[in-house]
Amino acid sequence: MAKYDPRARDPRSSVSDEDDRAAVSDSGGDRIAKVIARAGVCSRRDAEKMIAEGRVTIDGTKVTQPGTRVATGNVVAVDGKPLSEPERARLWRYHKPSGLVTTHRDPEGRPTVFAKLPMSLPRVVSVGRLDVNSEGLLLLTNDGALARRLELPAAGWIRKYRVRLFGKVTQADLDKLALGVTIDKVKYEPVIADLERVKGMNSWASVSLKEGKNREVKRLMEHLGLKVARLIRVQFGPFHLGQLEPGHVEEIPSKVWRDQLGLGAGKRRKEAGRTSDKSG
C-alpha cells in the first residue's frame, strides 16, 4: 500500500534518476485533488468530481472537500483502491499534426492530441498548447507541476516557429515587431521575425518569441496585414522538433531535461559538498 510522500515528486530536489519526481509541494501537504491527478488517475477537475461524489478516502475516512490536505504517510484511496506510487517525472517531444485540438476533451467533438497518442504512454499533459491548425513541437509530461514550470514566462525560454505567410511583406515590415506592439489593448513584447524566402504573395519567415500569448503569431501577422497559411513550432527552449515525424513521440532522457532546468547541476553541487564534508 503506497503512502503519500510530498517530497517524492519535487522538481527542485536533488534525487537519483530512479527516484526522479517533479511535483511542487509545501509544508502543509498537497491538496488531495492534486495528489490524485499526479498519481495518473485522472485530471484534477475529474478528481474534484470524484471527491464531491464521496469516492475518495484518506486513511479510510471519506473526504468531500477537494482542498483537503494530504500529509506525509496518509493513504489515499479512490473507490476503495489505494493510489499507486507516482511514476517518476518524464518528458516527451511530440510532433503535433494540424487538425488536432490540444485538450483531453473537446465539446465540438474534434479529434484531440491525447486521443491520438500511443497507448503505451501514461496519462500526460501538454506544456502549453498549439492551436488546432498549428503543428510542430509540443512537449508532453506525466507531471503537471513540471509542465507549469516549463511554460512559465519567467523561464525566459524562446519559442521558435516557421510561418508561411500570404500577402506582400518585406523584412522592414517584420522588423516593426522587434519593438513590441499593442493590438486591441493587448501588449505584445518584442518578437524577432526574419524573412526566409519570398515567391509572389507567398513567403516563409522564422519567428522567435518568449511570451506565447494565445494566437500570438497569427495576431501579430494580421496586424501587419498578412495571413498565416501555416504555422510550425520548431523549438521550445532548448528542445527542438528536429526530424521527428508528424504524429510521432520521443522521450527526452531525464538527465537532459533535468540539466536544462538546472536540477542536474544542483545535484552535482550537493553531492560535491557531501564529499567535501567527509574529506574534511
Residues annotated as catalytic are: 131
Round to the nearest angstrom and report the end-to-end CA distance of the chain: 42
Best CA proximity match to 109, nearest among 136, 139, 129, 132: 132
**SS3 of residue 204 by DSSP:** strand
DSSP letter at 83 equals P
How far is Cα of residue 154 from the mean position of the Cα atoms in its chain?
Answer: 14
Q: Which residue has the cell 544542483?
A: 266
CA–CA distance, 90 with 254 (Å, rounded to integer) = 7
Q: Which of 214, 253, 247 is nearest to 99 (CA)?
A: 247
Q: What is residue 129's three-state secondary structure?
A: coil
Retrieve residue 195's grid coordinates. 524573412
- d(C-alpha 108, C-alpha 98), whole Å: 16
Measured CA to CA, the distance from residue 134 to residue 101 in angstroms comes to 9
Query: Can you give the length of the chain in residues?
Result: 280
